[in-house]
């Protein structure tokens, strides 16, 4: 029987002045990853279309939708986002808790209040433009889960590098858990 995991518990954090600030109340999040450009290498001797992988595109923009906190809420998402500069590159961390993955990258941040509607919640549309590749690492989890697994080894890092997926292990280190 295949396993599936809820996206519940996903977090988004932005590093501000050497401190990670949680951007809470996520309603929806984007796909995160890279896609290589597809370059046509077909020539007159080809019997079919031929393509080679080009440089990766780390997404021109990633968009999150958040339920807005009141501006006066201490450490609320509206207050944290309002303190950011649109011309500064920030460290970004997305934790996908149910699958034990932490994605880090750098990017520019912009945001706006979502459109208003009758009987609607006030939302925030957060856009982050990546300026670096994504790094995926296994998240550390506490004790054993329902299957008896003790989680993943923090030192295992996965570099998203199309078309290859490389797993780097620490020298002499063991890999615990499963990256799938």
What mean pLDDT, rounded, does the chain reach? 81
Each domain of the chain, given as residue ranges in start order, spans 11-29+58-168
**Helical spans, DSSP H, in the chain:** 77-82
Kindly report, residue by residue over 25-81, the tens digit of the pLDDT: 999 999 998 888 899 999 999 999 999 999 887 767 999 999 999 998 988 999 999
In degrees and rounded to multiples of 5, residue 73 shows phi and psi of -70, 120
Taking a C-beta distance cutoff of 8 angstroms, is the pair 156, 167 a contact? yes
pLDDT digits (tens, 9 = 90+) for 131-170: 999 999 998 755 444 434 334 333 334 444 434 444 444 4
CATH 3.40.50 for domain 11-29+58-168? no
Q: Which of 8-12, 17-21, 139-143, 170-174 bottoms out in mean pLDDT, i.e. has the lowest?
A: 170-174
Question: Alpha-carbon distance 32 to 10, whole Å?
Answer: 13
């Amino acid at each position: 029987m295949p396993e599936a995991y809820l996206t519940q518990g996903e977090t988004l954090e932005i590093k501000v002045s050497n401190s990670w600030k949680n951007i809470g109340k996520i309603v929806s999040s984007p796909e995160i990853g890279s896609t290589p450009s597809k370059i046509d290498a077909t020539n007159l001797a080809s019997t079919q279309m031929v393509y080679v992988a080009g440089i990766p595109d780390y997404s021109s923009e990633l968009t999150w939708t958040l339920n807005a906190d009141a501006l006066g809420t201490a450490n609320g998402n509206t207050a944290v986002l309002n303190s950011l500069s649109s011309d500064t590159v920030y460290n970004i961390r997305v934790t996908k808790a149910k699958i034990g993955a932490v994605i880090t990258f750098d990017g520019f941040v912009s945001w706006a209040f979502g459109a208003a509607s009758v009987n609607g919640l006030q939302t925030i549309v957060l856009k982050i433009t990546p300026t670096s590749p994504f790094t995926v690492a296994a998240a550390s989890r506490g004790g054993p889960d329902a299957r008896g697994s003790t989680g993943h080894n923090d030192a295992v890092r996965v570099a998203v590098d199309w078309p290859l997926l490389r797993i780097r292990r620490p020298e002499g280190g063991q890999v615990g858990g499963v990256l799938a």
